[in-house]
Structure 1
Amino acid sequence: MGILKYTQYLYLLIAAAFIFDGVTKLNSPGENPWLSFIIAGVSVFMFFFRRKYAKKFDDHYKKQ
C-alpha cells in the first residue's frame, strides 16, 4: 500500500506535461490544444479522486 500513496502524484506530473503541451500548441498557428487541456483536466480530477480514496482506505485500515 506504500507505493500507492506516491502514484497519485504521477497524475499531477501528467497534467503539468499536458498543460505545457497545450500552451505550446496554443501559441502555434494551426494546432488544436483542447485535447491536451481536457486530458490535463482529467488527470487533475484523477489526482483528487485517488487522494480521497487513499485517505478513506487508510482510515479503514486504522480502525481495524
Structure 2
Amino acid sequence: MGYLKYTQFIYIAFALFFAYDGIMKLNEGDESYPFYFVIAGMAIFMFFFRRRFLKKYDNHNKKQ
C-alpha cells in the first residue's frame, strides 16, 4: 500500500491542469469554463480527502 502515499498528488496535478485550462477557456471567451473550475475544485477536495484517509489508515495500522 506504499503507492497510496503518492497517488494523492495526482489529484493536485489534475487540479492544476484543469485550473489552467479553465483560465485559458475564460480568456478565449468559451462558455464552458465553469466546468473546468468545478473539476479542479473536486480534485483539490479529493486530495485532502485521500490525505485524511491515508492518515487514518496509518494510525489504525500503528495501533494493531
TM range (shorter): over 0.9
Deviations 1:4-54 (A, max 9, x none): 110000000000000000000010024420000000000000000000010
In 1, distance between residues paired with 2:7 and 2:49? 12
Q: Moved runs in structure 1, 4+ residues, more than 3 A?
A: none
- Amino acid across the alignment from 1:23: I
Give me the TM-score of the superposition, normalised by structure 1. Answer: 0.95
- Amino-acid identity (%): 53
RMSD value, Cα: 0.8
How many residue pairs end up in the alignment?
Answer: 64
1:34: which partner in 2? 34
Q: Using the TM superposition, give the Cα deviation of residue 60 of structure 1 relative to its aligned residue in structure 2, in angstroms.
A: 0.3
Unaligned runs of 5+ in 2: none
In 2, distance between residues paired with 1:13 and 1:33? 18
Give me the TM-score of the superposition, normalised by structure 2. Answer: 0.95
